[in-house]
Structure formats: structure tokens, C-alpha cells
Amino acid sequence: MKNLWNTIVRNDKKTVIILTIIVVGLVTLLSYIPPYEGELPYWVTQLPLVNATLNSFTFLFLLLALGAILKKNIELHRRFIYGAFTTTSFFLISYVTYHFLAESTTFGGSGTIAGVYYFILITHIVLAAVIVPLALMSFFTGYKDERPRHRKWVRWTMPLWLYVSLTGVLIYIMISPYYT
């Protein structure tokens, strides 16, 4: 297992490309799969709230990681980044499960609030796809302690990942009245 991990880390660019294709491809594929027919189990109806909660934790872990690195506490920074990756991974599993089983919920608002909602939604979706390779490259360069290279990646990754995790929560709050 350690040899596999070392191979993954050593071939970080290939790993990032493969994982990005898998994650973005899987999420894209979900929009073409018809939803489950029939009444959804209760636990499935709770997944959007779980997703928002996981996004909240990711946002918090990222802020704490940023605070730790600004104080030059590398070990604490690393732990919070591991936390952010963990909550993001669980989010992805929950998100894919929900969208595999449930029909997409349509936003019911209109006027200015609809414009705000769709702006947040579209930027969130686009940046969520962009953040996958950025976060992975930031992770691998940090893990390998390639600090100059790591700093170049996180200059873009941290603000975008914070935006994506925060807007994920905002989207849930705005659309939650329309879940059936």
C-alpha cells in the first residue's frame, strides 16, 4: 500500500489528470442519468443538508488552515487541510449519491433573487470543476514539501476553494425551500 501511495505522489501530474477526469466526468454524467423512480428513502432527502454541512466544515477547515500557515504552524495547517480534503471527499460521495437517486430541484424564486441565485450557482459549478485539479496539485506539492511550487498553486486554490465551499452552503440555503 505504501508503494502505491509513493507511486501516486511521485506521478502527481498524472494522478491529478486522472482524478480530475473521473470526478468531473462522474458529476457531468449525473446530469444525463434519469433519477430513481419511486419514493425516495428518507435518508436520501437529507443529503442536501448533509452536503451543506460538509461544505461548511470544509470552509471552516480552510480558514483555520490559512490562519495556521499565516502563523507559520505547518503541522496544524497540514491537519486542517487533511480535514478539508476529508469533508470534501465525503461531500463528493454524498453529492453523487443524491444526484444519482434524486431529481434535480428547480429554484422557485424570481426577479432579482433569481439572478443572484443563478449567478452564484453558475460560478459555483464552473469553479467547482476548476478547483479539483488546483486542490490536488496544491495537496501534492504541499505533501512533498515543495514550498515554492506549493505557494504558486495555493495562491489560486485557497480563495477559489473558499468561494466554492461557501457558495455551496449559500446555494443550499437559497434552494432549500423548494426541495420536495
What is the tens place of the pLDDT at every residue in 26-50? 888 887 888 777 888 899 999 999 9
Give the pLDDT band (50/70/90) at residue 2: low
pLDDT at position 87 is 98
Instruction: Identify the burial level of 111 via C-beta atoms within 10 angstroms of its C-beta, where 0-12 means exposed, 13-18 middle and 19 or more buried.
Output: exposed
Verdict on whether the full-model pTM lies above 0.95: no
134, 24 Cβ separation under 8 angstroms: no
Give the pLDDT band (50/70/90) at residue 9: low
Give the pLDDT band (50/70/90) at residue 1: low
Which residues, 6 or more positions from 83, have their beta carbon under 8 angstroms from its beta carbon? 57, 61, 65
Tens digit of pLDDT for each residue in 99-130? 888 888 889 989 999 999 999 999 999 999 99
pLDDT at position 40 is 86
Average pLDDT score over residue span 86-93: 95
Predicted confidence (pLDDT) at residue 8 exceeds the cutoff of 70: no
pLDDT at position 114 is 95
pLDDT higher at 3 or 170: 170
Average pLDDT score over residue span 40-66: 96
Give the pLDDT band (50/70/90) at residue 5: low
Predicted confidence (pLDDT) at residue 19 exceeds the cutoff of 70: yes
pLDDT at position 6 is 64
State the Cα–Cα distance between residues 139 and 144, nearest whole angstrom: 9
Angle (nearest 5°) at CA 90 between 88 and 96: 100
State the Cα–Cα distance between residues 6 and 18, nearest whole angstrom: 16
All domains of the chain, ordered by start, with CATH?
46-178 (1.20.120.80)
pLDDT at position 50 is 97
Average pLDDT score over residue span 137-163: 94
Query: Three-class SS of residue 110?
Result: coil
